[in-house]
Amino acid sequence: MFWKYTLFETKLLIFNRKNWVLGLLLLLFFIVYFGHFSDSEQVSLKMQKDEESYVIDSILNQFPESQQKTSEGEEIYQNLLEQSSLINYQKFYLQKKQYDDYIANGLKLNDLRLRVIELEHQGIPEYLVKPKEEIMKEEALLTYIRDNELPLQPDPIVANEFLIFALQAVSGLIFFTFVLVMGSELLVYEQRNRTVVNGFPISFMSKMNSKAIIYFLFICIVLVVSVVAGGWNATNQSSLGDFSYPVLIFNNGSYEAISTIQYLLYVIGALALITLVILYLAILLTMIFHNAYATILIGLSFFFISDFFLILGMDAPIFHVMKFISITNVLSGDLSISLHNPEVDYGYAIIGLLLMLIALITIIYTINKARYVRK
């Protein structure tokens, strides 16, 4: 009977035009977003090295002569001269596509920058000193490329880079709203056509699980198709890029590099779990308020509730789990910084979302059981 009910719900989903419109909008987003991505200023390796060269020249030109007379000042000055030389060599190697030499010089450059920080950058304005966190990020990227013998990717306008930026744009409020709107009417037919639905002799939770599974599969299919279509469009307009190229993620309190394909799988896998969380949240809100619009509005308020408490100067860790819905912010480490919690990484977020899913299912079951006992 469960499968008959599932087939019945599948037909309702298929004939619901709202779901197809929402799916089409997500598909169009991934296709159209490439225009914005390609028009926005993406920093190439050449642009990055030109900027670094300009900064080093500025530091050398304003480095105080009195500072050079001290032993530490002289070491810093010579350090800066060597940095300038390494950056110029990197620009040359980049032009000649001698990527191994570029990486070797980049690793030496990072060692010199860390030494400047150890010497407390005497004679150098703090705003011109590259932060240690940025140095370690670049170290992780260069080391990954060297160890995996990968070629550099000087041009960022390629499909693999586009998909990273597109998923970062979708993750969070856009995806939350998309799933919430799609799931806001999960119980509408149930409430309006009780006679028809009661003809299926299965439990309430079985019905809810059936609905969640159907919509979960539909949304996952739409998401995967949208990502593939967006990547195909980007490849036709630029090039495919290298999906083994590294992407930085925040993990265990530090940054590490993983391949682009691994990053995409992390994000899509997390979005699948997030889809289930939002669908069960929509079911719970519809059970309580019996209105699709109320479900959407109150659901959106839950998304912003953590920010609301932060504005008031209050910390509410129990609501931090809603921020995990912005999974790309978790992976980048931005959420860890904003929450002042170094434990917030991908694994931490996945556990939090799983606990939230279990809590939502438990609450739905408890409310239904309480209503059944009253009857």
pLDDT over 80 (residue 334):
yes
Report the largest interatomic distance among the alpha carbons of the chain, rounded to a whole angstrom: 91
Contact 13, 218 (CB under 8 A): yes
Q: What angle do CA 347, 268, 252 make, to 5 degrees?
A: 20
Q: Which long-range contacts link 271-275 to residues 24+ away (Cβ below 8 Å)?
A: 271/171, 271/175, 271/223, 271/327, 272/216, 272/220, 272/223, 273/350, 273/353, 273/354, 273/357, 274/175, 274/176, 274/179, 274/324, 274/325, 274/327, 274/353, 275/179, 275/215, 275/216, 275/219, 275/220
E strand or H helix that includes residue 291 = none
Distance CA 334, CA 250 (A): 9
- State the pLDDT at residue 198: 54
* Main-chain phi, psi angles of 31, to 5 degrees: -80, -45
Higher pLDDT, 32 or 15: 32
Is residue 256 helix, strand or coil? strand
- Average pLDDT (201-216) is 85
pLDDT band at 192 (very low <50, low <70, confident <90, very high): low
Query: What pLDDT, on the 0 to 100 scale, is given for residue 195?
Result: 46
pLDDT tens digits for range 68-107 = 778 888 888 899 899 999 999 999 998 888 999 999 999 9
DSSP letter at 370? H
Q: Give the pLDDT band (50/70/90) at residue 200.
A: low
**55-69, 98-112, 155-169, 244-258: the lowest-pLDDT one:** 55-69
Alpha-carbon span 150 to 160, nearest angstrom = 15
Least confident segment among 26-35, 182-191, 217-226, 286-295? 182-191
Q: Which residue has the tokens 């890029």?
A: 241
Q: What is the pLDDT of residue 359?
A: 94
For residue 281, which phi and psi values (nearest 5 degrees)?
A: -65, -40
Beta-carbon-side half-sphere exposure of residue 275 (alpha carbons within 13 Å): 22
Lowest mean pLDDT among 133-142, 190-199, 281-290: 190-199
Which residue is associated with the tokens 């739905």?
Answer: 364
What is the arithmetic mean of pLDDT over 266-271? 96
Highest mean pLDDT among 54-63, 201-210, 342-351: 342-351
pLDDT at position 15, please? 83
Packing angle between helix 173-183 and helix 260-289, nearest 10 degrees? 40
pTM for this entry:
0.89
* Run of H or E including 130: none
